Structure 1
C-alpha cells in the first residue's frame, strides 16, 4: 500500500521559508487564540456507552471546561466508522468539527476497505493521540493451558483444533489474531462474530477457545475467573494486570495496542490543531481524569499533531503488512 505524504505536510514544507519572512508566527498565535469561536462538535463513530465513547466524554467534558465552550458529542455509528468519516471529510475546516476515532476507523478501514467515499489518508489532519490501552489474550477455562507458553505449544501441536473469536472479518481484533498466528507459528482458526460481546458465551462454554479483546471490558471476567488472561498485546505490561506478561516477551515484535485519537478535516489551520492538542493534553493530565483512565488500564496521551501523524502513518504500514500477509479480504 502506498502511503503518500499528506498534501498539508507538503504545503507546509514548501511554504515554510516564505511564512517565516511574512511573520506567520504572529498569525498563528492569533488563529490559536481565536479558537474556539463557539461550540465544538465531536463525532464519535460508535454507539453511546461503549469504551471509545466513554473515553471521549471523559476527556472532552474536561476540555469543554478548559475552553469555556460546550463540546457537543454526537454518536454516529454505521459502516464501521466510514459514514462519520465521510461526513467529517466534507465538514468546515475550522477546528469546530472533529472526530474521535480509534485504530479501527483510522487505520483498519484504510487498509482493508476499497471504494470509500473519502480519502482515508489525505482528507484528515491528525490532531492528537488521545489514549491507548493494551488488548489482552484470554482463553476459555476449558483449555488445558495455564500460561501463554503452554497455550502456544498446545496450539502448535494441534493445528486447526483451536479457534479464536473476533468482532468480524477485517476488524482490529481479527488482525491481532492473525498476527498472533504468524508470530507463534500456530493455526488457530478464526471465527467472526458481530462484536466481541457476542463471543463471550461461546468462549465461556469452550466452543471457541481464545479471544483478543480490550483490557477494560475483560477485567471483570478475568477478576471473576471466568476467563484466563495469558498476555497483553503491548511491549510492556498493564498496570492493572501486572502479573500478566506482555506478548512481546514471548513473541518478539508483537505490539498491537488499541488507541483513540482526534482528527480534523485536512484543511484545518495548523495553529488550531496545535491548540486542540494542547487542550486534550491538559485534560489527560487532570488528576481526576487520569485516575478514571488508570482504573480501566487506559493511558491518557495527548500527543502533538506531528507526533500523532508519525504514529498514525507507522500504524498504517504495520496493519497493511499484516492484512496482506494474512490475505484478509473484506467486502466494502
Structure 2
C-alpha cells in the first residue's frame, strides 16, 4: 500500500512513528511515575515524629502505586544535610524527600550560609502535614490559663523561663512570638531536642515549654505538666478541649509544616502526577486517622500554593528570627 495521505496530513509512516514514540515521550516526561522504587529522604533521625509520619505516607504511596517508597534518614545540621541531598539528586523523580518550615522558611534567615539555595534548588510538590505545638507549664506555676500566664509574666519580667528543642526551631519562635504579642519578657533555654527539655519541665528546672503536641500532650494526660494552649490558629482535633493561643492573642499561629520536596527541574507532567497521587494518599481515611493519632493533620496543597505559602512563611518568620538573636554562622 503506498504511503500516501490526504493533502495537509502526515504520511502513514509518520503517524506510525508518532504513535510508537508517544509512550516513550510520556515516560520521559514522567506521566507513568513511578515505574520503579522511589527513595524518600527524611532529613531527621529515625524514631521521631517526622520519621513516623513520613513512613506512614510512604507506606500509603506504596499501596497506591505498587512501587516501594524507601525511607532513608539523612539527619544533621537541623535538617540541612538531608535537604542538600535532595537538592543535589538527579531530577528524575526517583529521589524525593521531606521539606518544610525548617529548611525552606527558617534556614534562609537562620543560617549565614547554606550548601543549597532554598529558593532555586527544589521542586516543591505540595503539602504533607501540619503539626501544632503545645504550650505547657510546670504544675507548680501559678497560671491555669493563658490570661493568667500573661498577667504573671507581665508582673515579673525576665523571671520565668521557657524551654525549646533548640534556637531557631518553631518551638523557639513560638515563644518569641508569644513574648512579642503578649508584651512579656521570658528567658529562653534552648536544648538539644525536646526530650531533655521535657524532663526539666516536669522537674521544675524550667517553667514552661513550647513543644510539638505529641510529647507534651502525653505528659499532660499523665498529670505531669499543665497544658495551656496550642499554637495553631484553631484548636487541634487531637485535643479539642485545649484552647488555641489565638483565642487570647488574635492571629497567633506557629505550626510545624512539611511538604514533598524534590530537586529542581522536574518535568511539569511528573510534578502533576506526584501531586495527584500524594493527594490520594493524604485523603485516605486510614492515613487521616493515623496522623491524627499522632497529633498531625494531613495537608494537601497544589505545587503553586505550597510555593506561595513557603515564601509567605519565610517573610513572616524572618523578623522573628532576627529579633530572637538566633543565628548560625
Q: TM-score, normalised by structure 2?
A: 0.89
Indicate whether 1:331 and 2:321 are aligned: no
| Alpha-carbon separation, structure 1, partners of 2:320 and 2:272 | 32
Q: TM-score, normalised by structure 1?
A: 0.88
Deviations 1:98-125 (A, max 9, x none): 1212322222212210221111211111
What is the aligned residue count?
305
Equivalent position to 2:244, from 214, 227, 246: 246
Which residue is 1:275 aligned to? Answer: 273
Contact 1:29 1:271 in 2 (8 A): no
Structure 2 stretches of 5 or more lacking a match?
1-24
Compare 180-189 and 307-316 and name the one that shifted more.
307-316
| Alpha-carbon separation, structure 1, partners of 2:213 and 2:328 | 29
Q: For the structure 1 residues 40 and 135, does the alpha-carbon distance in structure 2 shift closer, same or farther, using more than 3 Å as the test? A: same
| Alpha-carbon separation, structure 1, partners of 2:293 and 2:89 | 35
Deviations 1:140-165 (A, max 9, x none): 10101111110111001000110001
| Alpha-carbon separation, structure 2, partners of 1:193 and 1:205 | 15
RMSD over aligned Cα atoms: 1.5
* SS of alignment partner, residue 162 of structure 2: strand
Indicate whether 1:315 and 2:295 are aligned: no
Deviations 1:275-295 (A, max 9, x none): 112111111122211111122
| Alpha-carbon separation, structure 1, partners of 2:325 and 2:272 | 36
Contact 1:108 1:170 in 2 (8 A): yes
| Alpha-carbon separation, structure 1, partners of 2:215 and 2:259 | 19
Structure 1 stretches of 5 or more lacking a match?
1-26
Which residue is 1:44 aligned to? Answer: 42
* SS of alignment partner, residue 35 of structure 1: coil
Contact 2:26 2:32 in 1 (8 A): no
Equivalent position to 2:127, from 117, 126, 129: 129
Q: For the structure 1 residues 327 and 132, does the alpha-carbon distance in structure 2 shift closer, same or farther, using more than 3 Å as the test? A: closer
Which residue is 2:17 aligned to? Answer: none
| Alpha-carbon separation, structure 2, partners of 1:189 and 1:327 | 11
| Alpha-carbon separation, structure 2, partners of 1:299 and 1:317 | 24
Contact 1:170 1:328 in 2 (8 A): no
| Alpha-carbon separation, structure 2, partners of 1:297 and 1:46 | 18
| Alpha-carbon separation, structure 1, partners of 2:166 and 2:292 | 28
**How far did 1:29 drift?**
9.5
Which residue is 1:61 aligned to? Answer: 59
Q: Detail structure 1 runs of 4+ shifted over 6 Å in the superposition.
A: 27-30
**How far did 1:327 drift?**
4.2
Equivalent position to 1:77, from 51, 62, 75: 75
Equivalent position to 2:301, from 286, 303, 306: 303
| Alpha-carbon separation, structure 1, partners of 2:83 and 2:255 | 22
| Alpha-carbon separation, structure 1, partners of 2:297 and 2:166 | 26
**How far did 1:37 drift?**
3.0
Contact 1:222 1:228 in 2 (8 A): yes
Q: For the structure 1 residues 327 and 287, does the alpha-carbon distance in structure 2 shift closer, same or farther, using more than 3 Å as the test? A: closer
Contact 1:43 1:98 in 2 (8 A): yes
Contact 1:278 1:304 in 2 (8 A): no
| Alpha-carbon separation, structure 1, partners of 2:100 and 2:133 | 13
Contact 2:99 2:260 in 1 (8 A): yes
| Alpha-carbon separation, structure 2, partners of 1:225 and 1:200 | 13
Contact 1:91 1:97 in 2 (8 A): yes
Q: For the structure 1 residues 78 and 254, does the alpha-carbon distance in structure 2 shift closer, same or farther, using more than 3 Å as the test? A: same
**How far did 1:32 drift?**
4.0
**How far did 1:95 drift?**
1.1
